[in-house]
Structure 1
Amino acid sequence: MKVAIEGCCHGQLNAIYKHIAELEAKDNYKVDLLICCGDFQAMRNRQDLQCMAAPEKYRDMGDFHSYYTGERTAPMLTLVIGGNHEASAYLWELYHGGWLAPNIYFLGHAGCVQVNGVRIAGTSGIFKGNDFHQGHWEKLPYTSGSMRSIYHVREYNIKRLSLLSSPNIVISHDWPQGIEHHGDLRYLLQRKPFFRGDIASGQLGSPPLMGLLKVLKPDWWFSAHLHVRFTGSVLHDADDQPTAGPPTVENPDEISIEDEDDDTTSKEANTLQTPQPTEDQNPDEIVLDEEIETVATPPKPVIQRETKFIALDKCLPRRQFLEVIDIPTTPVRPRSGKDKPDSNAPRLTFDPEWLAVTRAFHPFLSTTRHQPRMPDEEQAREMVRTELEWVLANVGDKAERDGLRDVDECQVFWATAPGPGGEQGDKSNQPPWYTNPQTVAFCAMLEIDNKINPPPPQATYSSPDAKENPTPHPPHQEKESPSGTSKPLSMGS
């Protein structure tokens, strides 16, 4: 299977798909799957822009809305994770994963699916130690603080991902901490000299992600965020502890966003003005001054295995933002049912083990600041084994008992919000809160309650084939009358 990996998208879908088409024509091959490593920016309308943490002048609609409204169609299956510049309200609707637009699938805040039998796991967002141990407490309308914290990775999701048995591919926006020592560090510092300080202090990248890499030992790990192409290789039977880096150098590189909810000083209280670049500055990145704290990861036994790491730049001319690789696939059981899609199209299925993890850990999913204590590893793995038996018996083809179910048998794309020009109320306001039928359907499949965006009591839809679109309503106000309804847009699934 030929897979294209893209770094930071920043809403430039048209340019990315065009570049892939040019490569296909030039080299005479067909890309089966596109993976986008965050900062995707799925803006449905201008109200979604008000949920993106970035200065006003960087809030651009981009190209996604034309795929959302059906004006354009993604030419290939596209898998997406979130970064730190996203339409957070829309991504929250699909916390467990779902179609952002036809043929564009979001893996969720954390998730794992299979494409032609290849297991692809991913985690959205970036690391900040102050928020890592919290629950998902953020609610619309977001404040300047919660607009940032909503995309900070939570321990809950890292813990869940750590229970998977060796996916083939893992996608993250952040780099795993210390990964720079597993590649050409001299080259990296030539390209990005302002990384020296963070490398020296161990603050380049995410500590939980390096712990996750050493636990999962995937064949491939793809990242973005730092706007540079970098490759490395982690040998899991080697002594791969990071060594001391070069002397500290300040990184005054980018645009700081003042967090009104933080009592911080020094560089976190800088203005929103863009400094003039010098030789020690990164002229093209936007950083929100995230604090990185070390998270201890217990040692794990290792086996003879290698993880190939690729990080890519953002989509701009003369940048290394895309890579095409070949991934071996294994035979997958043919789809059941009468309506079979194009046999050449890749098959997207839920991963049975991830469904088991989701069921096992659903009681610990918190929508408050307090994250309940989670079970230790031995107990957690036993819980997952128990839930996997349930998944094998109740999801997918029960005769096959393999737990495989095509995603589009449960979830189909549903436009919850209007496209540009159809916003409800002032375009400068944040969007209303929507219940997404894809989340409803996913929770119904696993027989778990919808903690993400439960519908009001009078809403009766539970199937993608329902005739009415969900009612926008504020969170945790199900007893109030809904303020209005929105009709589904007529577009493909």
Structure 2
Amino acid sequence: MKIAIEGCMHGDLDNVYATLLHLQQVERTKIDLLICCGDFQAVRNEKDLESLSVPPKYRSMNSFWKYYSGEKVAPFPTIFIGGNHEASNYLWELYYGGWAAPHIYFLGFAGVVKFGSVRIGGLSGIYKSNHYHLGHFERPPYNDRDIKSVYHVREYDVHKLMQIEEPVDIFVSHDWPVGITDHGNWKRLVRDKPYFKEEIQDRTLGSKPAAELLEKLKPPYWFSAHLHCKFAALVQHGDEGTFLYFFLFFL
């Protein structure tokens, strides 16, 4: 099975799909599935833009609406999680997961699906400690405060994922597990992103709940986005013998 991984989609489905179709031709291969690690921006109409937590000048319809309306059809099955720049009113309608458009599936705020023989888990949103222990109190139409908190990860959703007993082959989160920089070339990372250095030293770069899920679930592959840079990490879980687990963090 060939699986393509996209970092932050930002609603630009047309270009992403066109790139993958071109890759299929060049590589003479077939892509079976596309996974997006957040900031998918499933904007159906201009009303959805009001729940998109970005400055007004950056609010754009982009191309998801074409796939929602049926004008176009996704050329590959697509699975995505939510990030911190989403049409939050629409994703709230699909809290437990569901079809956002034909061939395009939202994993929900926390969920697991099976595609063929591959089990895929995901956690939407980003971590903010001041909202983590609260419930999902936000309701559309969002005010200026709630539009910035609706996508914050909640303990309730993480707790559901912590109950998983069957192995998960791929896990997807929007922000990185905190401490993952210990397992890759962090010096090269801070050369490219020098403002990450203080956060790495303070252990604030990334998500504590994601790190807990990493330790509990131990998936062979973990993909994240959010920070708009590439970083590869190799984690060895010592209590599990000599098995090696690979975690790749994409743009």
The structure having more radius of gyration, on CA atoms, is: 1
Decide whether the 8 Å contact of 1:217 with 1:306 is kept in 2: no
Aligned length: 249
* Alignment match, 1:203: 204
* Alignment match, 1:309: 247
Displacement of 1:138 in angstroms is 0.7
Q: Does residue 221 of structure 1 match 2:213?
A: no
* Alignment match, 1:176: 177
- Residue identity over aligned pairs, in percent, reads 51
Q: Residue 64 of structure 2 aligns to which amino acid in structure 1?
A: F
Higher-helix-fraction structure? 2
Displacement of 1:197 in angstroms is 1.2
Displacement of 1:306 in angstroms is 2.6
* Alignment match, 1:162: 162
Displacement of 1:211 in angstroms is 1.0
1:50-449 mapped onto 2 (5 Å cutoff): 50-165=50-165, 166-237=167-238, 302-304=239-241, 305-313=243-251
What is the CA–CA distance in structure 2 between the aligned matches of 1:169 and 1:212, rounded to whole Å? 12
> The residue matched to 1:25 in structure 2 has which SS?
helix
Decide whether the 8 Å contact of 2:83 with 2:124 is kept in 1: yes
Decide whether the 8 Å contact of 2:124 with 2:153 is kept in 1: yes
Q: Give CA-to-partner distance per residue, 1:344-399, whole Å, 9 cap, x none.
A: xxxxxxxxxxxxxxxxxxxxxxxxxxxxxxxxxxxxxxxxxxxxxxxxxxxxxxxx
> The residue matched to 1:196 in structure 2 has which SS?
helix
What is the CA–CA distance in structure 2 between the aligned matches of 1:61 and 1:190, rounded to whole Å? 35
Higher-strand-fraction structure? 2
Give unmatched runs, 5+ long, in structure 2: none
What is the CA–CA distance in structure 1 between the aligned matches of 2:73 and 2:6, rounded to whole Å? 18
What is the CA–CA distance in structure 1 between the aligned matches of 2:89 and 2:163, rounded to whole Å? 28
What TM-score do the two structures reach when normalised by structure 1?
0.50
Q: Residue 311 of structure 1 aligns to which amino acid in structure 2?
A: F
> The residue matched to 1:198 in structure 2 has which SS?
helix
Q: Give CA-to-partner distance per residue, 1:140-184, whole Å, 9 cap, x none.
A: 221111111110000011111011123111000010001111111
Higher relative contact order (CA 8 A, sep 6+): 1
Decide whether the 8 Å contact of 2:89 with 2:141 is kept in 1: no
CA RMSD of aligned residues (A): 0.8
Moved more, 302-311 or 186-195: 302-311
Decide whether the 8 Å contact of 1:36 with 1:78 is kept in 2: yes
What is the CA–CA distance in structure 1 between the aligned matches of 2:227 and 2:21, rounded to whole Å? 26
* Alignment match, 1:463: none
What is the CA–CA distance in structure 1 between the aligned matches of 2:114 and 2:244, rounded to whole Å? 21
Q: Residue 250 of structure 2 aligns to which amino acid in structure 1?
A: L
> The residue matched to 1:147 in structure 2 has which SS?
helix
What is the CA–CA distance in structure 1 between the aligned matches of 2:125 and 2:36, rounded to whole Å? 13
> The residue matched to 2:96 in structure 1 has which SS?
coil
> The residue matched to 2:158 in structure 1 has which SS?
helix
> The residue matched to 1:310 in structure 2 has which SS?
strand
What is the CA–CA distance in structure 2 between the aligned matches of 1:191 and 1:14, rounded to whole Å? 29
* Alignment match, 1:36: 36
Displacement of 1:83 in angstroms is 0.1
Q: Residue 102 of structure 2 aligns to which amino acid in structure 1?
A: P
* Alignment match, 1:23: 23
Q: Residue 145 of structure 2 aligns to which amino acid in structure 1?
A: G
What is the CA–CA distance in structure 2 between the aligned matches of 1:25 and 1:105, rounded to whole Å? 25
What is the CA–CA distance in structure 2 between the aligned matches of 1:141 and 1:95, rounded to whole Å? 16
What is the CA–CA distance in structure 2 between the aligned matches of 1:180 and 1:69, rounded to whole Å? 41
> The residue matched to 1:96 in structure 2 has which SS?
coil
Decide whether the 8 Å contact of 1:24 with 1:31 is kept in 2: yes
Q: Give CA-to-partner distance per residue, 1:432-470, whole Å, 9 cap, x none.
A: xxxxxxxxxxxxxxxxxxxxxxxxxxxxxxxxxxxxxxx
Decide whether the 8 Å contact of 1:172 with 1:223 is kept in 2: yes
Q: Residue 94 of structure 1 aligns to which amino acid in structure 2?
A: L
Q: Give CA-to-partner distance per residue, 1:183-231, whole Å, 9 cap, x none.
A: 1112211211110111111110001111110110000000000000111
Decide whether the 8 Å contact of 2:178 with 2:211 is kept in 1: yes
Displacement of 1:22 in angstroms is 1.3
Decide whether the 8 Å contact of 1:6 with 1:312 is kept in 2: yes
> The residue matched to 1:210 in structure 2 has which SS?
helix
> The residue matched to 1:119 in structure 2 has which SS?
strand
> The residue matched to 1:89 in structure 2 has which SS?
helix
What is the CA–CA distance in structure 2 between the aligned matches of 1:207 and 1:113, rounded to whole Å? 23
> The residue matched to 2:99 in structure 1 has which SS?
strand
What is the CA–CA distance in structure 2 between the aligned matches of 1:164 and 1:188, rounded to whole Å? 32
> The residue matched to 2:160 in structure 1 has which SS?
helix
Decide whether the 8 Å contact of 1:183 with 1:231 is kept in 2: yes
> The residue matched to 2:130 in structure 1 has which SS?
helix
